[in-house]
Amino acid sequence: MKRITILISAIFILLIFELDAQPFEQLVAPIQGVGRSVVAWGDYDNDGDLDFVLCGITPSGTYLSKIYENDNGTFNVTDAVLTGVKDGSVAWGDFDNDNDLDILLTGETENDGDLALIYRNDDGVFNEYDAGLPGVSYGDGVWGDYDNDGDLDILITGNWIVSLYENIDGIFLLTQADFGLLQNSRAAWGDFDNDGDLDILLSGDTGGGYFADIFLNQAGVFIQANLGMTGLFSGSADLVDFDNDGDLDISITGYDIYLDPRFLTYDNMGNGSVAVHDNIMEGIATSSVDWGDYDNDGDLDILMCGKTAACGGSVSKVYSNNDGIFLMEPGASLQGAIRSNAAWADFDNDGDLDFILSGMTAEEVPFTQLFLNMAGSNEFVVNTVPDAPEGLETIVDGLSVTFSWEKAGDAQTPQDGLYYNLRLGSYSGGSDKITPMADEGSGYRIIQAIGNTNMNNTWTISGLMPGTYYWSVQTIDQAYSGSEFSEEGTFLVIATAVNEFEAGIISNIFPNPASDKVFLYSKTQEKFEISIINASGQEVYHALVSSGDPVDVSFLKKGIYFIKAGAGAKVSVHRLVKR
């Protein structure tokens, strides 16, 4: 009954504003119209406003990849030379940790087949960087630090491959990870199980059916989660927290086995399973979906475009999130688009999300349009940046360090819906070990994305060389606004550090991180003593336990602890993260 009441109230509110509220205004700008397109926002020149890269096929049939520079809200095409592509992907990421944005580009070229290229940003000049990646179209190329070593690795999918490349000092090496074969596919990184590393969402055509599932990252080994989702292809795939409960949910679009366009959302239940989330969004394929809080009410809304089930049908719509019920924004009258792409960004820096829309009309005419969010003249409030995190702590374990901090607050986004973004450098204020892709002074986010630790307020980085390091963290809200960075913390890694976390009496701790209960398993001992020790070295719990019995940890504050296990003369120490 509550859900029905909310739905009726939300519809009534929308009807009130339908007559006079015009939330978006098209901006007249000299931007090339393209279809079969992709677009990505990023402040490549670090001047405090968002530029974008646009790729696709023009009305004359030429293939285009161009960077448009934002000059106080006026967009001018730059002279950067990028290979023109269609039916591809484009993503910004700082793979060399030099504090500027590089480009990962995939797609079909006019004369040279399919490609997957990196363009390295050298002081605003983009040079092709030979990474030896396989060319793909109708697929995806996405950045993500899967091995928690502080640099961006690459996942490539399309052309019947799914390949993971590890970044080792700028050299990309193919890993042995096996994800099967996919075409017409999409991929997304995100910590689905909140265990402190990045998992992968994949969807696409296997050649014998259609696929959608999560691959869980278990210490660098990927295990299929078998979530039982409906397989889709030729659409979109996103990991987002649309219900503000502190874990990443799933959004996928595309064709199903009956070639019907679908738009499916799944709630992350927090226990390794998902549940279908009822929605009213129109099914779309050859499609694009972007999530962002355009109305500044603290939850993720939807910008979508694609082909519908109707013969020749296409849509471009905005849906507002009202306590998990998604309702179409009636004031957003947009050109329908297929083989299209759309993306939110506050490109005029006025505290609300604007967007770009590019694709083909139903008559297959390419177009590109920019829209301003007119928050100042409608019912929406202006977004404020979140608070910076406090309570920074580090625990050094050999050449690894675990960071932790207190969760922050925000005037719009609930605390459990906030993301965090880590910076790490070998000098004060530096980010040469982990780039936050944000201005280190103001906290301004130079890409439109969640933070690099996702929703976690603990994170572990490995493979650090001996030395002194400096770090801080910022908060990111659902409108992708970043707080100022926290006060800087520092720690020392020494070459003689002893690894305390060897295999010992306890063979498995599950779950870890833990919320209420944790199960301790031993392959050698039926019973053993444990002490739980906090980060200050104080014993906060002591008991004699049996292997496999639950241990109540609900009384512990969030943070990092050590479990000291003893049986006779044998002693071992293990890490526990309490969330």
Name the residue among 177, 180, 199, 181 with its Cα closest to residue 190.
Answer: 199
Does the reported pTM lie above 0.75? yes
**CB 312 within 8 Å of CB 362:** yes
Cα distance between residue 160 and residue 141, in whole Å:
14
**pLDDT above 70 for 496:** no
Q: What is the pLDDT of residues 3-59, one digit of tens each?
A: 444 444 444 444 444 444 578 999 999 999 999 999 999 999 999 999 999 999 999
The 3-state secondary structure of 66-115, one letter per residue? EEEEEECCEEEECCCCCCCEEEEEEEEECCCCCCCCEEEEEEECCCCCEE
Q: What average pLDDT does the chain have?
A: 92
> What SS3 state is found at 469?
strand
- Picking from 41, 126, 147, 135, the residue whose alpha carbon sits closest to that of residue 92 is 41
Choose among 488, 434, 501, 436: nearest CA to 464.
434
Bridge partners of residue 233, in order along the sequence:
255
What gap in Å lies between CA 65 and CA 223, rounded to an integer? 36
Extended strands (E) in 169-300? 171-174, 183-190, 199-205, 210-218, 221-224, 233-240, 249-255, 261-268, 274-276, 285-292
Rounded-to-10 torsion of CA 306, 57, 232, 204? -160
Instruction: Give mean pLDDT, residues 569-579.
Output: 81
In the chain, the percentage of residues whose pLDDT exceeds 90 is: 80
Within 408-450, strands assigned E span 419-425
If DSSP codes are grouped into helix, strand and coil, which group holds residue 389? coil
DSSP notation for 447-462: BSS--TTTT-SEEEE-
Q: What is the pLDDT of residue 477?
A: 98
Which of 272-286, 296-310, 519-533 bottoms out in mean pLDDT, i.e. has the lowest?
519-533
> What is the per-residue pLDDT across 151-160, written as a single tens digit (0 to 9) for each?
999 999 999 9
